[in-house]
Amino acid sequence: QVQLVESGGGLVQAGGSLRLSCIVSGGTFSSYAMGWFRQAPGKERACVAVINWTGSSTMYPSSVKGRVTISRDNAKNTVYLQMNNLNTEDTAVYYCAMKVGLSFSFDPQRYDYWGQGTQVTISS
């Protein structure tokens, strides 16, 4: 059974940084593309960053590009999300997700496994 467990969320002042982690168990982690998504109250789940199975390629939506970095350590079955210069609009529950297959996508519906999420709250 595949399980994804996020950690690293919390309360941060605007302008601060956070590093989220997601540990995957029960699957062949190195064979999957990974993504980080977020969902704020009343809003749809949106992609924050994606990374291919080797970690050699990443993509970011324009809303966060330049402020976030996704990375992975296949030896540790872990994917990370470094977020800098946070603002109140970054407040949301952050989820990591795993997609079967080698390609990545911004579309959350294409991801097969999800973590339970970790709350990130940015105070002004």
Q: What is the mean pLDDT of each run of 10 residues along the chain (124 residues)?
A: 96 97 88 94 96 93 94 95 97 96 88 97 96
Report the pLDDT value the prediction gives residue 74, as an integer from 0 to 100.
92
Q: Give the model's pLDDT for residue 89.
A: 95
pLDDT at position 103: 81
- The predicted structure's pLDDT at residue 68: 98
Question: pLDDT at position 104, please?
Answer: 83
Separation CA 33–CA 117 (nearest Å): 18
Cα separation of the two ends of the chain = 40
CB burial of residue 25 (10 Å; 0-12, 13-18, 19+) = exposed
pLDDT at 100: 87
